[in-house]
Amino acid sequence: MAVTVIEAVPAALNKHVATKERKVLVQGGEDPDPEMKRRRDFVQLMMQDAWDDYVRYAWGNNELKPISRTGQTGGIFGTAKIGATIVDSLDTLYIMGMEEEYQKAREFVATNLTFADVDATISIFETNIRFVGGFLAAYALTGDDLYREKALEIGSLLLPAFDTPTGLPWSYFNIKTLEPNPNPQAVLAEFGTLHLEFTYLSEITGDNRFKETVDRIREIMKTIVKPNGLYWNFINIMTGNWTTNHVSIGALGDSYYEYLIKAYIQLGDQEAKEMYDAAMDAFEDNDLIKTSVQNRLLYIAESRDDSPQNVVGHLACFAGGMFALGAHVDPNGRNAERDAEIGRNFTNTCHESYIRSNTRIGPEVFRFSDNLEAESEFDNEKAYILRPEVLESYFILYRITGDRKYRDWAWDAAQAIQNNCKAGPGRGYSGLRNVYSLSPQQDDVQQTFFLAETLKYLYLIFSTDDLIDINQWVFNTECHPLPIKGSNPFY
Protein backbone atom coordinates (compact mmCIF):
# COMPACT_ATOMS: atom_id res chain seq x y z
CA MET A 1 0.00 0.00 0.00
CA ALA A 2 1.37 3.40 -0.96
CA VAL A 3 1.80 5.97 1.77
CA THR A 4 2.07 9.72 1.39
CA VAL A 5 3.55 12.71 3.09
CA ILE A 6 1.26 15.38 4.35
CA GLU A 7 1.55 17.61 1.29
CA ALA A 8 -0.09 14.89 -0.83
CA VAL A 9 -2.91 13.91 1.54
CA PRO A 10 -6.34 14.52 -0.01
CA ALA A 11 -7.96 17.69 1.31
CA ALA A 12 -10.92 15.68 2.55
CA LEU A 13 -8.56 13.86 4.88
CA ASN A 14 -6.47 16.79 6.04
CA LYS A 15 -7.86 20.30 6.20
CA HIS A 16 -4.58 21.63 7.57
CA VAL A 17 -2.75 21.25 4.25
CA ALA A 18 -4.22 24.31 2.59
CA THR A 19 -3.64 26.63 5.54
CA LYS A 20 -0.36 25.56 7.12
CA GLU A 21 2.94 26.60 5.60
CA ARG A 22 5.28 24.57 7.79
CA LYS A 23 5.68 20.93 6.88
CA VAL A 24 4.80 18.43 9.56
CA LEU A 25 5.12 14.81 8.53
CA VAL A 26 2.16 12.70 9.66
CA GLN A 27 2.32 10.06 6.90
CA GLY A 28 5.17 8.63 4.90
CA GLY A 29 8.55 8.59 6.63
CA GLU A 30 9.92 5.56 4.79
CA ASP A 31 13.50 4.91 5.85
CA PRO A 32 15.99 4.68 2.95
CA ASP A 33 17.61 1.72 4.68
CA PRO A 34 16.01 -1.30 2.94
CA GLU A 35 16.21 -3.40 6.12
CA MET A 36 14.24 -0.80 8.08
CA LYS A 37 11.71 -0.57 5.26
CA ARG A 38 11.28 -4.34 5.39
CA ARG A 39 10.76 -4.24 9.15
CA ARG A 40 8.25 -1.40 8.92
CA ASP A 41 6.31 -3.19 6.17
CA PHE A 42 6.21 -6.25 8.42
CA VAL A 43 4.71 -4.20 11.27
CA GLN A 44 2.15 -2.70 8.91
CA LEU A 45 1.10 -6.22 7.93
CA MET A 46 0.69 -7.02 11.64
CA MET A 47 -1.62 -4.00 11.91
CA GLN A 48 -3.49 -5.14 8.82
CA ASP A 49 -4.02 -8.59 10.34
CA ALA A 50 -5.10 -7.23 13.72
CA TRP A 51 -7.52 -4.77 12.13
CA ASP A 52 -8.98 -7.12 9.51
CA ASP A 53 -9.65 -9.81 12.10
CA TYR A 54 -11.32 -7.29 14.42
CA VAL A 55 -13.50 -6.10 11.52
CA ARG A 56 -14.36 -9.68 10.53
CA TYR A 57 -15.36 -11.00 13.94
CA ALA A 58 -15.89 -8.12 16.37
CA TRP A 59 -16.91 -4.98 14.48
CA GLY A 60 -18.51 -2.47 16.84
CA ASN A 61 -17.47 -4.42 19.93
CA ASN A 62 -14.79 -3.01 22.17
CA GLU A 63 -12.23 -5.75 21.56
CA LEU A 64 -11.65 -8.93 19.58
CA LYS A 65 -11.45 -12.35 21.21
CA PRO A 66 -9.23 -13.85 18.52
CA ILE A 67 -9.39 -17.51 19.47
CA SER A 68 -13.14 -17.45 20.04
CA ARG A 69 -13.61 -15.33 16.91
CA THR A 70 -16.08 -13.05 18.59
CA GLY A 71 -16.30 -9.62 20.15
CA GLN A 72 -15.85 -8.60 23.76
CA THR A 73 -17.47 -5.87 25.81
CA GLY A 74 -17.43 -5.30 29.57
CA GLY A 75 -14.52 -4.49 31.84
CA ILE A 76 -13.34 -0.89 31.82
CA PHE A 77 -16.28 0.23 29.68
CA GLY A 78 -18.92 -1.71 31.55
CA THR A 79 -21.61 -3.11 29.30
CA ALA A 80 -21.19 -0.40 26.68
CA LYS A 81 -20.58 -1.56 23.12
CA ILE A 82 -18.78 1.50 21.80
CA GLY A 83 -16.14 0.27 19.37
CA ALA A 84 -13.14 1.01 21.57
CA THR A 85 -10.74 -0.70 19.15
CA ILE A 86 -12.01 1.50 16.31
CA VAL A 87 -11.43 4.78 18.14
CA ASP A 88 -8.09 3.65 19.58
CA SER A 89 -6.92 2.68 16.07
CA LEU A 90 -7.90 5.83 14.17
CA ASP A 91 -4.55 7.60 14.31
CA THR A 92 -2.54 4.39 13.78
CA LEU A 93 -4.47 3.67 10.58
CA TYR A 94 -4.01 7.24 9.42
CA ILE A 95 -0.29 7.43 10.18
CA MET A 96 0.31 4.10 8.44
CA GLY A 97 -1.48 5.39 5.34
CA MET A 98 -4.14 2.67 5.50
CA GLU A 99 -6.70 4.91 3.84
CA GLU A 100 -9.48 2.40 3.17
CA GLU A 101 -9.35 1.09 6.74
CA TYR A 102 -9.17 4.60 8.14
CA GLN A 103 -12.25 5.67 6.17
CA LYS A 104 -14.20 2.67 7.46
CA ALA A 105 -13.27 3.63 11.01
CA ARG A 106 -14.22 7.26 10.43
CA GLU A 107 -17.60 6.23 8.98
CA PHE A 108 -18.33 4.24 12.14
CA VAL A 109 -17.53 7.25 14.31
CA ALA A 110 -19.65 9.54 12.13
CA THR A 111 -22.72 7.32 11.77
CA ASN A 112 -22.79 4.78 14.61
CA LEU A 113 -21.00 6.20 17.61
CA THR A 114 -22.83 8.32 20.14
CA PHE A 115 -22.33 8.47 23.87
CA ALA A 116 -25.46 10.25 25.04
CA ASP A 117 -27.42 7.00 25.43
CA VAL A 118 -24.60 4.88 26.88
CA ASP A 119 -26.06 3.47 30.10
CA ALA A 120 -22.93 1.89 31.56
CA THR A 121 -20.44 2.46 34.35
CA ILE A 122 -17.17 3.31 32.64
CA SER A 123 -13.63 4.12 33.72
CA ILE A 124 -13.03 7.88 33.58
CA PHE A 125 -9.31 7.32 33.08
CA GLU A 126 -9.59 4.74 30.29
CA THR A 127 -12.32 6.66 28.49
CA ASN A 128 -10.20 9.79 28.57
CA ILE A 129 -6.95 8.28 27.31
CA ARG A 130 -8.54 6.07 24.65
CA PHE A 131 -11.60 7.99 23.47
CA VAL A 132 -10.92 11.65 24.23
CA GLY A 133 -7.22 11.16 23.46
CA GLY A 134 -7.97 9.15 20.34
CA PHE A 135 -10.36 11.78 18.97
CA LEU A 136 -8.02 14.66 19.81
CA ALA A 137 -5.09 12.99 18.04
CA ALA A 138 -7.25 12.23 15.01
CA TYR A 139 -8.35 15.87 14.96
CA ALA A 140 -4.79 17.16 15.29
CA LEU A 141 -3.54 14.91 12.49
CA THR A 142 -6.40 15.44 10.04
CA GLY A 143 -8.11 18.71 10.92
CA ASP A 144 -11.44 16.89 10.64
CA ASP A 145 -14.00 18.68 12.84
CA LEU A 146 -15.87 15.41 13.44
CA TYR A 147 -13.22 14.36 15.93
CA ARG A 148 -13.22 17.66 17.80
CA GLU A 149 -16.99 17.37 18.16
CA LYS A 150 -16.75 13.79 19.41
CA ALA A 151 -14.02 14.70 21.90
CA LEU A 152 -16.18 17.54 23.19
CA GLU A 153 -19.21 15.24 23.42
CA ILE A 154 -17.56 12.56 25.52
CA GLY A 155 -15.49 15.08 27.49
CA SER A 156 -18.64 16.93 28.51
CA LEU A 157 -20.29 13.70 29.62
CA LEU A 158 -17.32 12.95 31.87
CA LEU A 159 -17.41 16.29 33.72
CA PRO A 160 -20.15 15.35 36.25
CA ALA A 161 -17.79 12.70 37.64
CA PHE A 162 -15.68 15.57 39.03
CA ASP A 163 -18.56 16.94 41.10
CA THR A 164 -17.04 15.89 44.42
CA PRO A 165 -15.97 17.87 47.51
CA THR A 166 -12.37 17.94 46.28
CA GLY A 167 -12.86 18.07 42.52
CA LEU A 168 -11.09 14.72 42.19
CA PRO A 169 -13.23 12.42 40.02
CA TRP A 170 -14.94 9.16 40.78
CA SER A 171 -12.94 6.37 39.17
CA TYR A 172 -16.00 4.73 37.60
CA PHE A 173 -19.11 6.63 36.62
CA ASN A 174 -22.34 6.04 34.69
CA ILE A 175 -22.46 8.88 32.16
CA LYS A 176 -26.21 8.50 31.62
CA THR A 177 -27.55 8.11 35.17
CA LEU A 178 -24.69 10.14 36.72
CA GLU A 179 -24.28 7.43 39.34
CA PRO A 180 -20.72 6.65 40.44
CA ASN A 181 -19.25 3.45 41.67
CA PRO A 182 -19.39 4.57 45.31
CA ASN A 183 -15.79 3.66 46.22
CA PRO A 184 -14.23 7.00 47.24
CA GLN A 185 -10.66 5.73 46.86
CA ALA A 186 -9.05 6.99 43.68
CA VAL A 187 -5.80 6.03 41.97
CA LEU A 188 -3.00 8.55 41.40
CA ALA A 189 -2.34 7.44 37.83
CA GLU A 190 -6.02 7.74 36.94
CA PHE A 191 -6.99 11.20 38.17
CA GLY A 192 -3.46 12.39 37.38
CA THR A 193 -3.70 11.40 33.72
CA LEU A 194 -6.12 13.96 32.33
CA HIS A 195 -4.09 17.12 31.92
CA LEU A 196 -2.86 16.75 28.33
CA GLU A 197 -6.25 15.89 26.88
CA PHE A 198 -8.39 18.29 28.91
CA THR A 199 -6.08 21.25 28.33
CA TYR A 200 -5.90 20.66 24.59
CA LEU A 201 -9.66 20.13 24.42
CA SER A 202 -10.21 23.54 26.01
CA GLU A 203 -7.74 25.10 23.59
CA ILE A 204 -9.44 23.80 20.44
CA THR A 205 -13.05 24.31 21.58
CA GLY A 206 -12.81 27.49 23.67
CA ASP A 207 -14.61 25.63 26.46
CA ASN A 208 -12.52 26.33 29.56
CA ARG A 209 -14.37 23.83 31.78
CA PHE A 210 -11.88 21.11 30.96
CA LYS A 211 -8.77 23.11 31.74
CA GLU A 212 -10.36 24.44 34.93
CA THR A 213 -11.13 20.87 35.98
CA VAL A 214 -7.54 19.66 35.67
CA ASP A 215 -6.17 22.89 37.14
CA ARG A 216 -8.10 22.10 40.33
CA ILE A 217 -6.49 18.66 40.42
CA ARG A 218 -3.08 20.23 39.86
CA GLU A 219 -3.61 22.58 42.81
CA ILE A 220 -4.43 19.67 45.10
CA MET A 221 -1.39 17.70 44.03
CA LYS A 222 0.86 20.74 44.32
CA THR A 223 -0.13 21.51 47.89
CA ILE A 224 -0.85 18.07 49.34
CA VAL A 225 1.60 16.83 51.98
CA LYS A 226 3.92 14.31 50.37
CA PRO A 227 5.47 12.00 52.99
CA ASN A 228 9.22 11.84 52.34
CA GLY A 229 8.52 13.78 49.16
CA LEU A 230 6.61 10.83 47.67
CA TYR A 231 3.15 10.61 46.17
CA TRP A 232 1.14 7.67 47.50
CA ASN A 233 -0.93 5.74 44.98
CA PHE A 234 -4.36 6.09 46.62
CA ILE A 235 -6.34 9.10 47.79
CA ASN A 236 -9.84 9.66 49.18
CA ILE A 237 -11.70 11.94 46.79
CA MET A 238 -14.07 13.11 49.52
CA THR A 239 -11.35 14.26 51.93
CA GLY A 240 -8.33 14.76 49.69
CA ASN A 241 -6.20 12.63 52.04
CA TRP A 242 -3.90 9.76 51.14
CA THR A 243 -5.26 6.34 52.12
CA THR A 244 -2.54 3.76 51.44
CA ASN A 245 1.21 4.04 51.87
CA HIS A 246 2.18 2.53 48.54
CA VAL A 247 4.46 4.23 45.99
CA SER A 248 5.17 3.04 42.46
CA ILE A 249 6.48 4.44 39.21
CA GLY A 250 4.66 1.53 37.57
CA ALA A 251 1.04 0.45 37.97
CA LEU A 252 -1.16 2.87 39.94
CA GLY A 253 1.35 5.73 39.76
CA ASP A 254 2.99 5.64 36.32
CA SER A 255 1.23 8.12 34.05
CA TYR A 256 0.83 10.78 36.76
CA TYR A 257 4.57 11.38 36.53
CA GLU A 258 4.49 11.00 32.75
CA TYR A 259 1.92 13.77 32.44
CA LEU A 260 3.93 16.17 34.59
CA ILE A 261 6.90 16.14 32.23
CA LYS A 262 4.64 16.02 29.19
CA ALA A 263 2.62 19.03 30.35
CA TYR A 264 5.94 20.88 30.36
CA ILE A 265 6.63 19.62 26.83
CA GLN A 266 3.12 20.36 25.55
CA LEU A 267 2.72 23.87 26.93
CA GLY A 268 5.96 24.89 28.60
CA ASP A 269 4.26 24.31 31.95
CA GLN A 270 7.10 25.23 34.33
CA GLU A 271 5.11 24.33 37.44
CA ALA A 272 4.61 20.81 36.10
CA LYS A 273 8.34 20.53 35.38
CA GLU A 274 9.22 21.54 38.95
CA MET A 275 6.78 18.98 40.33
CA TYR A 276 8.23 16.33 38.05
CA ASP A 277 11.80 17.07 39.07
CA ALA A 278 10.88 16.96 42.76
CA ALA A 279 9.10 13.64 42.30
CA MET A 280 12.07 12.06 40.52
CA ASP A 281 14.40 13.40 43.23
CA ALA A 282 12.17 11.73 45.82
CA PHE A 283 12.55 8.34 44.14
CA GLU A 284 16.32 8.74 44.34
CA ASP A 285 16.35 10.23 47.86
CA ASN A 286 14.28 7.31 49.20
CA ASP A 287 16.64 4.74 47.67
CA LEU A 288 14.06 3.46 45.22
CA ILE A 289 16.47 3.64 42.29
CA LYS A 290 18.50 0.50 42.85
CA THR A 291 20.83 -1.94 41.12
CA SER A 292 20.78 -5.73 41.14
CA VAL A 293 23.41 -7.68 43.05
CA GLN A 294 24.23 -9.97 40.13
CA ASN A 295 24.90 -7.69 37.13
CA ARG A 296 24.22 -4.20 38.44
CA LEU A 297 21.02 -3.83 36.45
CA LEU A 298 19.30 -0.57 37.36
CA TYR A 299 15.66 -0.80 38.40
CA ILE A 300 13.08 1.39 40.13
CA ALA A 301 11.61 -0.29 43.18
CA GLU A 302 8.18 0.17 44.73
CA SER A 303 7.62 1.18 48.34
CA ARG A 304 5.08 -0.16 50.83
CA ASP A 305 4.83 1.33 54.31
CA ASP A 306 8.17 3.07 53.72
CA SER A 307 9.88 -0.23 52.87
CA PRO A 308 11.39 -0.75 49.38
CA GLN A 309 9.96 -3.68 47.41
CA ASN A 310 12.31 -5.08 44.77
CA VAL A 311 9.60 -5.60 42.20
CA VAL A 312 9.05 -4.02 38.77
CA GLY A 313 5.93 -4.19 36.62
CA HIS A 314 5.93 -4.19 32.84
CA LEU A 315 3.96 -0.94 33.09
CA ALA A 316 6.94 0.68 34.83
CA CYS A 317 9.12 0.09 31.79
CA PHE A 318 7.74 3.22 30.14
CA ALA A 319 9.86 5.15 32.65
CA GLY A 320 13.10 4.50 30.79
CA GLY A 321 11.71 6.61 27.98
CA MET A 322 10.25 9.14 30.41
CA PHE A 323 13.58 9.78 32.15
CA ALA A 324 15.35 10.05 28.80
CA LEU A 325 12.70 12.41 27.45
CA GLY A 326 12.93 14.61 30.54
CA ALA A 327 16.69 14.95 30.04
CA HIS A 328 16.22 15.58 26.32
CA VAL A 329 13.84 18.51 26.75
CA ASP A 330 15.92 20.12 29.51
CA PRO A 331 19.51 19.23 28.61
CA ASN A 332 20.99 21.90 30.86
CA GLY A 333 18.86 20.99 33.88
CA ARG A 334 20.55 19.99 37.09
CA ASN A 335 19.26 16.41 36.75
CA ALA A 336 19.72 15.96 33.01
CA GLU A 337 22.81 13.76 33.18
CA ARG A 338 21.35 11.62 35.96
CA ASP A 339 18.02 11.22 34.21
CA ALA A 340 19.58 10.35 30.86
CA GLU A 341 21.62 7.64 32.55
CA ILE A 342 18.59 6.26 34.40
CA GLY A 343 16.65 6.26 31.15
CA ARG A 344 19.29 4.26 29.28
CA ASN A 345 20.01 1.82 32.09
CA PHE A 346 16.41 1.13 33.09
CA THR A 347 15.49 0.55 29.44
CA ASN A 348 18.33 -1.96 29.27
CA THR A 349 16.95 -3.72 32.37
CA CYS A 350 13.52 -3.99 30.77
CA HIS A 351 15.19 -5.43 27.67
CA GLU A 352 16.83 -8.02 29.90
CA SER A 353 13.39 -9.02 31.20
CA TYR A 354 12.47 -9.82 27.59
CA ILE A 355 15.50 -11.79 26.48
CA ARG A 356 15.56 -13.94 29.63
CA SER A 357 12.21 -15.57 28.81
CA ASN A 358 11.68 -18.48 26.43
CA THR A 359 9.38 -16.38 24.27
CA ARG A 360 11.74 -13.36 24.33
CA ILE A 361 8.82 -11.31 25.63
CA GLY A 362 8.88 -9.77 29.10
CA PRO A 363 6.44 -10.71 31.88
CA GLU A 364 3.84 -8.61 33.64
CA VAL A 365 6.02 -8.47 36.79
CA PHE A 366 9.70 -9.20 37.43
CA ARG A 367 11.74 -9.20 40.61
CA PHE A 368 15.21 -8.80 42.07
CA SER A 369 16.74 -10.75 44.94
CA ASP A 370 19.79 -12.84 45.68
CA ASN A 371 18.20 -15.56 43.53
CA LEU A 372 16.30 -13.54 40.92
CA GLU A 373 17.31 -10.87 38.45
CA ALA A 374 14.73 -9.36 36.09
CA GLU A 375 12.58 -12.51 36.18
CA SER A 376 9.18 -13.44 37.58
CA GLU A 377 8.75 -15.46 40.74
CA PHE A 378 5.06 -16.38 40.86
CA ASP A 379 2.77 -17.84 38.21
CA ASN A 380 0.45 -14.81 38.24
CA GLU A 381 3.39 -12.57 37.25
CA LYS A 382 4.33 -14.38 34.04
CA ALA A 383 1.68 -13.13 31.61
CA TYR A 384 2.05 -10.75 28.68
CA ILE A 385 -1.08 -8.91 27.53
CA LEU A 386 0.34 -7.24 24.38
CA ARG A 387 1.68 -4.31 26.40
CA PRO A 388 3.67 -1.50 24.69
CA GLU A 389 5.75 0.03 27.50
CA VAL A 390 9.11 -1.56 26.71
CA LEU A 391 8.71 -0.71 23.02
CA GLU A 392 7.76 2.83 24.01
CA SER A 393 11.11 3.27 25.74
CA TYR A 394 12.96 1.72 22.81
CA PHE A 395 11.24 4.23 20.52
CA ILE A 396 12.06 7.28 22.63
CA LEU A 397 15.65 6.19 23.26
CA TYR A 398 16.15 5.58 19.54
CA ARG A 399 14.71 8.96 18.56
CA ILE A 400 16.92 10.72 21.13
CA THR A 401 20.19 8.80 20.68
CA GLY A 402 20.01 7.37 17.16
CA ASP A 403 21.52 4.15 18.53
CA ARG A 404 20.54 1.29 16.19
CA LYS A 405 20.45 -1.24 19.03
CA TYR A 406 17.02 0.05 20.05
CA ARG A 407 15.72 -0.71 16.55
CA ASP A 408 17.24 -4.18 16.76
CA TRP A 409 15.69 -4.79 20.19
CA ALA A 410 12.32 -3.65 18.83
CA TRP A 411 12.63 -5.97 15.83
CA ASP A 412 13.43 -8.89 18.10
CA ALA A 413 10.29 -8.09 20.13
CA ALA A 414 8.15 -7.73 17.00
CA GLN A 415 9.21 -11.17 15.80
CA ALA A 416 8.59 -12.65 19.24
CA ILE A 417 5.08 -11.18 19.30
CA GLN A 418 4.37 -12.50 15.82
CA ASN A 419 5.68 -15.97 16.65
CA ASN A 420 3.94 -16.34 20.01
CA CYS A 421 0.90 -14.05 20.03
CA LYS A 422 -0.60 -14.58 16.58
CA ALA A 423 -3.71 -16.60 17.31
CA GLY A 424 -3.66 -18.36 13.96
CA PRO A 425 -4.57 -17.41 10.37
CA GLY A 426 -7.40 -14.88 10.42
CA ARG A 427 -7.53 -14.76 14.20
CA GLY A 428 -5.71 -11.62 15.29
CA TYR A 429 -3.29 -11.41 18.23
CA SER A 430 -3.62 -12.67 21.77
CA GLY A 431 -1.83 -12.16 25.07
CA LEU A 432 0.11 -14.98 26.73
CA ARG A 433 -0.39 -16.61 30.12
CA ASN A 434 3.26 -17.55 30.67
CA VAL A 435 6.13 -16.00 28.73
CA TYR A 436 8.55 -18.57 30.13
CA SER A 437 6.68 -21.50 28.61
CA LEU A 438 8.01 -23.20 25.48
CA SER A 439 4.38 -23.51 24.28
CA PRO A 440 2.61 -20.55 25.90
CA GLN A 441 -1.16 -20.62 26.24
CA GLN A 442 -2.92 -17.59 24.79
CA ASP A 443 -5.45 -15.52 26.75
CA ASP A 444 -7.92 -14.84 23.88
CA VAL A 445 -7.91 -11.03 24.10
CA GLN A 446 -6.63 -8.57 21.50
CA GLN A 447 -6.30 -5.45 23.61
CA THR A 448 -7.20 -2.12 22.00
CA PHE A 449 -3.82 -0.73 23.02
CA PHE A 450 -2.08 -3.34 20.86
CA LEU A 451 -3.28 -1.39 17.81
CA ALA A 452 -3.08 2.04 19.42
CA GLU A 453 0.34 1.70 21.05
CA THR A 454 2.34 -1.48 20.49
CA LEU A 455 2.10 -1.49 16.71
CA LYS A 456 2.35 2.29 16.39
CA TYR A 457 5.57 2.45 18.39
CA LEU A 458 7.01 -0.39 16.31
CA TYR A 459 6.02 1.33 13.06
CA LEU A 460 7.50 4.65 14.12
CA ILE A 461 10.80 3.22 15.34
CA PHE A 462 11.37 1.82 11.85
CA SER A 463 10.39 5.13 10.21
CA THR A 464 12.42 8.29 9.73
CA ASP A 465 12.59 10.64 12.70
CA ASP A 466 10.45 13.32 11.04
CA LEU A 467 7.35 11.09 11.04
CA ILE A 468 5.56 12.26 14.20
CA ASP A 469 8.67 14.19 15.25
CA ILE A 470 9.01 14.09 19.05
CA ASN A 471 10.01 17.77 18.93
CA GLN A 472 6.60 18.60 17.45
CA TRP A 473 4.33 16.01 19.06
CA VAL A 474 3.86 14.61 22.55
CA PHE A 475 2.17 11.26 23.04
CA ASN A 476 -0.56 10.78 25.58
CA THR A 477 -0.27 7.63 27.66
CA GLU A 478 -2.21 5.67 25.01
CA CYS A 479 0.29 6.73 22.30
CA HIS A 480 -2.07 9.27 20.76
CA PRO A 481 0.05 12.18 19.45
CA LEU A 482 -0.95 15.70 20.47
CA PRO A 483 0.74 18.79 19.01
CA ILE A 484 3.26 20.81 21.02
CA LYS A 485 2.32 24.45 21.31
CA GLY A 486 4.91 26.76 19.81
CA SER A 487 6.69 24.15 17.69
CA ASN A 488 3.83 22.44 15.88
CA PRO A 489 1.57 24.59 13.68
CA PHE A 490 -1.22 22.04 14.08
CA TYR A 491 -1.76 23.15 17.69
Report the CATH number of the 6-483 domain: 1.50.10.10
Inter-residue contact 281 to 335 (CB < 8 Å): yes
Tens digits of pLDDT across the chain (491 residues): 333 333 333 333 343 333 344 589 999 999 999 999 999 999 999 999 999 999 999 999 999 999 999 999 878 998 899 999 999 999 999 999 999 999 999 999 999 999 988 999 999 999 999 999 999 999 999 999 999 999 999 999 999 999 999 999 999 999 999 999 999 999 999 999 999 999 999 999 999 999 999 999 999 999 999 999 999 999 999 999 999 999 999 999 999 999 999 999 999 999 999 999 999 999 999 999 999 999 999 999 999 999 999 999 999 999 999 999 999 999 999 999 999 999 999 999 999 999 999 999 999 999 999 999 999 999 999 999 999 999 999 999 999 999 999 999 999 999 999 999 999 998 899 999 999 999 999 999 999 999 999 999 999 999 999 999 999 999 999 999 999 999 999 89
Confirm if 97 and 76 have CB atoms less than 8 A apart: no
Report the pLDDT value the prediction gives residue 116, as an integer from 0 to 100.
86
In the chain, what are the domain boundaries?
Answer: 6-483
pLDDT of 22: 52
The pTM score is: 0.95
Type of residue at 490: F
Q: Which of 439, 438, 415, 418 is nearest to 430 (CA)?
A: 418
414-425 tens-digit pLDDT: 999 999 999 999
pLDDT of residue 6: 37
Give yes or no: 364 in active site: yes
Catalytic residue among 63, 99, 126, 364: 364
